[in-house]
Amino acid sequence: MDFNNIKEENSRSLAYNGNVNQKTSNPIDKPKIMPLNTRTSSNRLYSGYTNSYHKTNDINYLDLISAINVSFSGQTDIVHLFYSIHNNICARLSLSFCALGIFNPNSNYINLKLIDKTGTSYNSKVLLTENENVIVKAFQNKQAIFTTDSEYLKLNYLENASTQIIPLVVFGECLGVIIFADNNANQFFELYKLIANYFAVFSKNRMLSDLVDRNTDTDSLTGLSNHKKLQEDLAVEISQCANSDKKLAFCIFDIANISEINNELGHAKGDEVIKEVAKKIKKNVRNTDILGRYGGDKIAIIMPDTTDEEAKYVCEYLLYNLSCTMFDDLGQLKFSCGISMFPEATNKQEKLTILAEQALYISKSKRNQTGQSTIISTNDYNFWDDEALKCFAEVLTKKHASVGINIEEELINQFHNENIISNEHLLDVVSSLAATIDAKDTYTKGHSAAVSRYAEALARAMDLPANEVERIKLGAILHDIGKIGIPEHILRKPEMLSDDEWLIMKQHPVIGADKVLKPNKSLHDLIPMVKYHHEHIDGSGYPYGLKGDDIPLSARIVAIADSYHALISDRPYRKGLSIQKACEILKMGAGTQWDKELVRRFIIIAPSLATNI
């Protein structure tokens, strides 16, 4: 269970919906932890808190204890319990914030979730190597620590307050810490300690319960194999099919509106639907097929010795039978279905499940458009299609916690393995790849395509041969491809970069040339544009400080196109400049930053490049 499974309305930050890797004992751990000063906007559930201080004799302790008791008795997981306690405590004691930190023994850090009195949440991790951190001291010494301020959190936007950092200790084991912050913290220490003790016992019981569930092979709701057993069966079947040179289909069924059913009719009704769907599928699959609950409302089927056409036939038959299943107040259910094929799509088990989920997401999109249940196989779509790329990124974002696969790395691998059959095919692939990288930087959407268009126009104005113009057009599309290796918090930073951040940003030309282009021999002639488009005529550029004609002509052309588009584009700190003003700046830098003759030619054609697209 992840904190972000609880929906926060009006969120200004990207919500992370990934599942927790079941191999770790940390129930709130996630691999990509937002910095503490990255916050999630207020939930209206918590609105209306004031900054006033409670007098101790104004507090209704019976009401307070009753509310805490409801929190513990009414929750079944750690995340919901923390939110419930925060809501009840803050509303009655005017806490500045509550924080929960759960220790991850595999990674040796405390994963911290903080919620202030407005409901705004912050995520961070505290490494146990930070010996001077009071959180670490409380955890390691298993002793509560009282502080007169909360500056140790290094959070500028948080109201400063006295804090009690209380370790969660049960059976001599410290599971983490819980923090309460208010200026009456000392007076309520025994209450906070009581909450911490009960929270520790609750957390330990939850962990033990999860461990028992993970060690069984059967899903308690559906009677099918659970996710763990399903993966074990898939590994065996893949091995057998590989040894006998046979194909295998991995299919995932998803119930269209299970979330609405849970919200409107309750989880009991949703469970009834999932149970009945599993029963129907089990009754109508072949004897050789293996079923399992993939998670939530998803049922997976392993189909050994099965072609893509056979898998689709079986799935169509299942959809027909499922469509005949009726529920009171629900009517006819609709489904999505994704299929991935071994070894056609991949010979890796992990990748096979990811591609099945990608196909499932595409199926969901099709269903939303048509209103009909659909079946999508990995053989049905082009990986570089916009919709397919979006679905692939969504799947990897959610699965990164458990599979450790990075979307950018996967795109590069797919790019290197793509069988290019024509120049048009290559242009489509690099355009999709560049557009995906542009999407990392919200301020430069469409930048690569625009730079390519400007560079192509300048190359034609220079009367370069047709094949050279095409090379420059292609290289310009990929000129910023090295940003694939730059952290998003640097790319998206709206203000000026620090010196350290700028050093990281300046690595992108080399990353693009060496990591993306160099492994593919057919793209070696594009390397100069990617590697040297930030070099300056006077030698003041980067990464190598090349001067004058030592900078390849193609790179000098891309440099002007790149700079021009940056000048006329809107930025968070300024509006885009006019064509006239941008050309004046190019003139000023001619002979120092940019090639003087190329600038002269570009200024002539610049007005004709204006577009409203």
> Quick one: pLDDT at residue 19?
34
Residue-wise pLDDT for 520-543, tens only, equals: 787 888 999 999 999 999 999 999
Q: Do 80 and 19 fall into the same domain?
A: yes
Which CATH number characterizes residue 277's domain?
3.30.70.270
Q: Do 526 and 555 fall into the same domain?
A: yes
Contact 452, 476 (CB under 8 A): yes
* Among candidate residues 325, 356, 389, the one where a domain is terminated: 389
Q: Do 242 and 326 fall into the same domain?
A: yes
CA distance 569 to 577: 7
Q: Do 317 and 203 fall into the same domain?
A: no
Is residue 488 included in any domain, yes or no?
yes
Residue-wise pLDDT for 261-286, tens only, equals: 777 777 788 888 898 899 999 999 99
Which CATH number characterizes residue 556's domain?
1.10.3210.10
What are residue 177's DSSP bridge partners? 101, 167
> Quick one: pLDDT at residue 392?
63
Q: Do 480 and 512 fall into the same domain?
A: yes
Is residue 514 included in any domain, yes or no?
yes
Name the 3-class secondary structure at 173: strand
pLDDT above 70: residue 358: yes
CA distance 497 to 500: 8
* Among candidate residues 214, 236, 256, the one where a domain is terminated: 214
Are β-strands 335-342 and 374-377 bridged in parallel, bridged antiparallel, or unpaired? parallel
Task: Lowest mean pLDDT of 146-150, 312-316, 368-372, 477-481, name the range.
Answer: 368-372
Is residue 167 included in any domain, yes or no?
yes
pLDDT above 70: residue 243: yes
Contact 365, 391 (CB under 8 A): yes
Q: Do 419 and 480 fall into the same domain?
A: yes
Q: Do 203 and 258 fall into the same domain?
A: no
CA distance 540 to 546: 8
Q: Which residue has the higher pLDDT, 342 or 19?
A: 342
Q: Which helix (H) or strand (E) holds 565?
A: helix 553-568
> Quick one: pLDDT at residue 542?
93
Is residue 321 included in any domain, yes or no?
yes
- Describe the chain by its helix, strand, coil percentages, rounded to 5: 50, 15, 35
pLDDT above 50: residue 430: yes
> Quick one: pLDDT at residue 13?
30
Task: Lowest mean pLDDT of 27-36, 86-95, 297-306, 570-579, name the range.
Answer: 27-36
pLDDT above 60: residue 123: yes
Q: Which residue has the higher pLDDT, 600 or 572?
A: 600
| Per-residue confidence band for 53, with pLDDT thresholds at 50, 70 and 90 | very low
Contact 85, 98 (CB under 8 A): yes
Which CATH number characterizes residue 167's domain?
3.30.450.40
Q: Do 234 and 273 fall into the same domain?
A: yes
| Residue showing tokens 């999630």 | 40
* Among candidate residues 187, 214, 241, the one where a domain is terminated: 214
Whole-number Cα distances in Å, 475 to 70, 129, 241, 303, 554: 63, 45, 42, 44, 8
What are residue 145's DSSP bridge partners? 165
pLDDT above 70: residue 408: no
Is residue 406 included in any domain, yes or no?
no
Q: What percent of the chain has pLDDT over 70?
A: 78
Query: Which is nearest to 195 in space by CA: 98, 55, 58, 111?
Result: 98
For 202, the token pair is: 């609750």
End-to-end CA distance of the chain: 44
Q: Do 325 and 195 fall into the same domain?
A: no
What are residue 147's DSSP bridge partners? 163
Per-range mean pLDDT, top range of 321-325, 388-392, 550-554: 550-554
Is residue 267 included in any domain, yes or no?
yes
Q: Do 100 and 53 fall into the same domain?
A: yes
Q: Do 57 and 202 fall into the same domain?
A: yes
Is residue 18 included in any domain, yes or no?
yes
Average pLDDT over residues 213-231: 83
Q: Which residue has the higher pLDDT, 151 or 472?
A: 472
Task: Lowest mean pLDDT of 9-18, 39-48, 360-369, 565-574, name the range.
Answer: 9-18
| Domain residue limits at 111 | 3-214
pTM of the shown model: 0.44
Domain count, the chain: 3
| Per-residue confidence band for 492, with pLDDT thresholds at 50, 70 and 90 | confident
Q: Do 200 and 232 fall into the same domain?
A: no
Is residue 161 included in any domain, yes or no?
yes
